[in-house]
Homo-oligomer: A and B are copies of this chain.
């Protein structure tokens, strides 16, 4: 799940460009991560290609992917399994590739804590059911995401093609979402559905979101409840960030109640509900350099608090 706080801004159509081009951007980070037992060095450098063009009649088209980007099955942008391509115009924007689901396209995730994201104890990602290679990655990539924005209204729909002649499971996923912005507040709702195909296990999820942009403060509230055979009972979360001069402070807390499943993956096979949270801060040094750190933990047994502190680079 992509780390976007207010993803609705992504619906603005690309400004017209004079000529088709490939542009480069990059990011980096370096610092120290405490994993609950030890402190380790952690660094990385990445480069992203952004493709952009405009047809004679003003249709925008393009795409984007990172050099290192591969999906969980080793698929690359050259196979439609990482990054994405799009075409956009007055009709909205059609994007194909390793896209997020419709609700995530409109509501994003919570504030990202720490310079490395610190998601081992739960993390800032909202528990969307679909998109972002969450299901049937071997079958259904690329997926399609459609977004449209007019005045205060934003709409999104996403779906996989649901066919895979060579695989035993022929599942499909689809989702719709809508958002309405009134003054500084955006209210949204979405519905996601997975047809499990030959597995016979179908799952649905209703998503509700509220985003408030109050000057230097952003607040996001999210609620989801599972339907059909979903293992999610309820997910409630709240995230916020506050900017003061060069400082930004932020955090999130999520409550998750499972239905017929436990947090065994997190080392607590007896727990069917959990609370996790993270808080952090960053200081902007200008020119693309910032210092960022955070801590994160959950209330499950055998869980240790994790923390990091480092520099983030943007090029």
- Mark A residues whose CB is within 8 Å of B: 19-22, 24-26, 28-30, 32, 35, 37-47, 49, 51-57, 59, 61-68, 76-80, 83-87, 94, 96-97, 140, 142-144, 160-161, 163-165, 285-289, 311, 313-315
Contacts and interface: CB of A to CB of B under 8 A. Distances in A.
19 contacts: A20-B288, A22-B25, A28-B62, A28-B85, A30-B94, A38-B161, A39-B161, A41-B143, A43-B96, A43-B97, A44-B80, A45-B64, A53-B288, A54-B289, A56-B286, A61-B289, A61-B313, A62-B313, A68-B76
A178 B287 CA distance: 33
B25 A96 contact: no
B56 A313 contact: no
Number of copies: 3
Contacts of A32: 161
Contacts of A39: 161, 163
Given A22-B25, A26-B63, 7 more contacts: A20-B288, A22-B24, A30-B94, A41-B80, A43-B97, A45-B83, A66-B78
Q: Which 3 A-B pairs have the closest CB atoms?
A: A56-B286, A38-B163, A45-B63
Contacts of A161: 32, 38-41
A26 B22 contact: yes
B22 A54 contact: no
B30 A87 contact: yes
B285 A57 contact: yes
Given A20-B288, A61-B311, A47 B37 contact: no
A87 B51 contact: no
A138 to B, nearest CB: 13
Contact of A63 (B24, B28, B63, B97): B28
Main secondary structure of the interface of A (DSSP, over half): strand
A59 B289 contact: yes
A74 to B, nearest CB: 11
A160 B165 CA distance: 39
Nearest to A30: B96
A64 B24 CA distance: 14
A313 B163 contact: no
B41 A87 contact: no
Nearest to A314: B20
Contacts of A46: 77-78
Contacts of A38: 161, 163-165
A56 B57 CA distance: 42
A315 B97 contact: no
Contacts of A77: 44-46, 68
B78 A45 contact: yes
A87 B38 CA distance: 24
Nearest to A54: B287
Contact of A142 (B22, B43, B56, B94): B43
